[in-house]
Amino acid sequence: MHDHRGGGGHGAEHRHEAEHHHETEHHHGGEVSQTQLLTAALESLLVEKGLLSSDTIDQLVERYEKDIGPMIGARVVARAWTDPAYKQRLLSDSASALAELGIHMDNLVVVENTPAVHNAVVCTLCSCYPWAVLGLPPTWYKEPAYRSRMVIEPRAVLREFGLELDGTVEVRVWDSSAEQRYLVLPERPAGTEGMTEAELATLVSRDSMIGVARVAAPARAR
């Protein structure tokens, strides 16, 4: 595991950078990938032909950022909350634990939040993101301010997200790369004891799996 808690620095910067040229899901600063060009061309063609409106596309993107994408990760979290043996497999061998749920991803490290340890995820170099479990990254994840400040002053950044951490809680910031992605296993909130796995999954937000939020207790338990 490469843990960059607090320190910043990318364990394997050159490798990271090199592998990015083979990645199609994101790009570095000014570099536009072929996939992005094709996507943009396809989008303008569909809009031009009147088959789709820009608003429709924006709505679709938003659904993949906030709903459809993160639902996959939320299912994983809910299973881990309700099945301790599954949770252990997920933490120790995520690839096979994910495969049990039909998710194929072999470079994911799952890090567990506890009352003593809070984990959060960043990609300091660009925007590596576990899209197979979280969908499309939110805009702020790709912004330079988040990418740099999250390793320098994570508590301040988390506070801006509305997450106030007690001074005794250890904050671990995980720097993603092309070869290693991270998913935070958030704490199961109090008041959810009677809930089913499917009900629990609806509580799990994208932000809680990036580590910039807690999972809120269901309204009736507050």
Are 182 and 129 spatial neighbours (Cβ–Cβ below 8 Å)?
Answer: no
80 sits near Fe ion (criterion: CB under 5 A): no
- Asked about 33 being catalytic, the answer comes back as no
- Taking CB under 5 A as the criterion, the residue among 126, 158, 204, 213 binding Fe ion is 126
Q: Based on CB atoms, which residue is closest to Fe ion, 126 or 195?
A: 126
Rounded to 5 degrees, φ, ψ at 185 are -95, 100
Do 154 and 120 meet the contact criterion of CB atoms below 8 Å apart? yes
Residue 62 beta carbon to Fe ion: minimum distance, rounded to whole angstroms = 22
Q: Exactly one of 53, 54, 126, 176 is catalytic; which is it? A: 126
Residue in 123, 176, 177, 205 annotated catalytic: 123
Token readout for 188 is 């199961």
CB 119 within 8 Å of CB 172: yes
Q: Smallest distance from the beta carbon of 21 to Fe ion, in angstroms? A: 12
Closer residue to Fe ion (CB): 123 or 134: 123
Q: Indicate whether 122 belongs to the interface with Fe ion (CB under 5 A).
A: no
Q: Stretches 76-84, 100-108, 116-124, 139-147: which one binds Fe ion (CB under 5 A)?
A: 116-124
To Fe ion, the closest distance from the beta carbon of 128 in angstroms equals 3
Binding to Fe ion by residue 185, rule CB under 5 A? no
Does residue 123 have an active-site annotation? Answer: yes
> CB-wise, 87 or 181, nearer to Fe ion?
181
CA 204/CA 214 separation, integer angstroms: 9
Q: Which of 78, 108, 121, 128 binds Fe ion (CB under 5 A)?
A: 128
**Residue type for 23, please?**
E
CA 18, CA 41: separation in Å to the nearest integer? 26
- Residue 221 φ/ψ, nearest 5 degrees: -95, -5
Helix (H, G, I), strand (E, B) or coil at 134: helix
